[in-house]
Structure 1
Amino acid sequence: MTGVSAMKRGIGGLLAVGGFLIAATSVSAHHSVQAEFDLNKPLTITGIVTKVEWINPHSYLYLDVKDDSGNVKHWAFEMAGPGALRRAGLSRADRGGLKAGDTITVNAVAAKDGTDAGLIRDVTLPDGRKFTIWTSDPNAK
């Protein structure tokens, strides 16, 4: 084996390891709830559903919420992906679930950046059905 061949293999190995480390860091950061949300700031919010996005890897729920002064604030909530929501029993509007115009209540944790956003723990529909969305909260009782 020549020195050039060994050097190419060594560089290729370093690139492969570097790529793996970058990918692992990206996946770890993506799944770090504590990086985006403050687990010590629970929210209970009632509002009107304006939109639900049933997309992977996370679904999103948008609510219009009146503040104490009567002004409407637009909240955005992250949820699990569609498959996990279905396993939790929550369905799309065309299947009797979340739909625009519904007044619902969510229990969530607040976004760390102070925006009107959060990660949903559970959601209660107008008919009283309650669905637990996120169960990995280390503070959950």
Structure 2
Amino acid sequence: LFVDVKDGSGNVTNWGCEIAANPYQLILSGWTKQRSTNELKPGTVVTITVAPSRAGTNAALLLKVVNDKGQELLATGPDSQQ
């Protein structure tokens, strides 16, 4: 998942986020290609929680995606129920 991140000064940087769950785990949690297309259209504003790369690059492990309504769209990692 590639996202544009705006900092407090309004500067935008592009980040690449890797999803740790495999496709089977995503399907079990209700995350399908159709849902992805519907929920994450280009320009959709979301809040993400990530574990940043230790290398200091704009790369991270995606942990959670929440839409602007506060609905959790996707959760991966140790605290999720996948």
Normalised by the shorter chain, which TM-score bucket? 0.7 to 0.9
CA contact (8 A) 1:88 1:133 kept: no
How far did residue 62 of structure 1 move?
Answer: 0.8
Kindly report which structure 2 residues correspond to 1:5-16, keeping only aligned pairs within 5 A, or say none.
none
2:44 counterpart residue number: 102
1:83 aligns with 2:24: yes
The match for 1:125 is 67
Match of 1:32 in 2: none
Residue 63 of structure 1 is matched in structure 2 by 3
Larger Rg: 1
Deviation at 1:136, TM superposition (A): 7.0
Do structure 1's residue 73 and structure 2's residue 17 form an aligned pair?
Answer: no
Evaluate the alpha carbon distance shift between residue 68 and residue 108 of structure 1 in structure 2; reply closer, same or farther with a 3 A threshold. same
* C-alpha RMSD of matched pairs (Å): 2.1
Aligned 1:35-74 pairs, distance under 5 A: 61-74=1-14
Give the share of equivalent positions with the same residue, in percent: 34
Number of residue pairs aligned between Structure 1 and Structure 2: 75
Q: What's the CA shift for 1:72? A: 0.8
Quote the offset at 1:85 in angstroms: 2.1
- Aligned residue for 1:84, secondary structure, equals helix
Structure 2 length normalisation: TM-score?
Answer: 0.73
Greater per-residue strand proportion = 2
**Unpaired runs of 5+ in structure 2?**
none
Which runs of at least 4 in structure 1 moved beyond 4 Å after TM superposition?
none
Aligned CA distance change for structure 1 residues 98 and 84 (closer, same or farther; 3 Å):
farther
**1:13-32 matched pairs, under 5 angstroms:** none
1:135 paired residue number? 78
Greater relative contact order, per chain length (Cα 8 Å cut-off, separation 6+) = 2
Could you tell me how far apart the structure 2 residues matched to 1:101 and 1:63 are? 10
